[in-house]
């Protein structure tokens, strides 16, 4: 009897056998998936609904934005209100293929936008645009009434911009979001104005 008790005590005091290598790998894999999968889902949700990174390509917004400048495009605010005049927006227009365009909102729904002799007028009044660094060369005169749920957009580099003067007003649904912050190159870090 004493031997039976001693043997059972010895069995309780011995360490459990080591788990097999396969179980250890599965446990590590599970822990990695529990950490990485939610992070990927959160990143995807942020990219789809809140904001995304984008790169400026072209000179239509110079000197305010430059080719290869990196921006964060904020997508949330236009779910609560429409674009405001002078917002810098990123567009995806079906007529322009897969290319994303970056432009400035000039005309809002219901407004009359006129371009005459290189000047922009909204409802008959000259539009003050302090962000412009050069004069627009006179071209063809344009007069457009912006339809509901549309905006009129132009690049800051008016002499080298494919904008509403060429492709017309833009449905608000074609706006991906508002250019919010520049994060590259380092000397350009800050809010987009």
Active site residues: 60, 103
DSSP per-residue string spanning 19-79: PPHHHHHHHHHHHHHHHHHHHHHHHHHIIIIIEEEEE--SSTTTTTS-TT-EEEEE-SGGG
Per residue, what are the HEC states of 168-180?
A: CCEEHHHEEEEEE
d(CA 162, CA 103): 9
d(CA 92, CA 102): 9
**Residue positions counted in the chain:** 193
Residue 105, token pair as written in the block? 């909102």
């Amino acid at each position: 009897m004493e031997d039976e008790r001693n043997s059972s005590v010895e069995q309780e005091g011995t360490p459990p056998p080591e788990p097999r290598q396969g179980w250890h790998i599965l446990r590590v894999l599970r822990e990695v998936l529990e950490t990485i999968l939610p992070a990927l889902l959160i990143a995807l949700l942020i990219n789809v609904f809140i904001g995304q990174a984008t790169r400026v390509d072209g000179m239509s917004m110079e000197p305010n934005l430059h080719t290869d400048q990196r921006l964060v495009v904020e997508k949330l605010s236009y779910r609560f209100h429409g674009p405001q005049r002078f917002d810098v927006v990123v567009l995806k227009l079906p007529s322009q293929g897969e290319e994303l365009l970056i432009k400035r909102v000039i005309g809002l729904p219901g407004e009359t936008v006129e371009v005459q002799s290189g000047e922009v007028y909204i409802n008959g009044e000259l539009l003050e645009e302090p962000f412009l660094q050069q004069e627009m060369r006179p071209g063809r005169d344009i007069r457009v009434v912006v339809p509901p749920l549309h905006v009129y957009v132009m690049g800051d580099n008016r002499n080298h911009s494919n904008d509403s003067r060429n492709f017309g007003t833009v449905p608000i649904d074609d706006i991906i979001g508002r250019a919010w912050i520049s994060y590259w190159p380092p000397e350009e870090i800050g809010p987009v104005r």
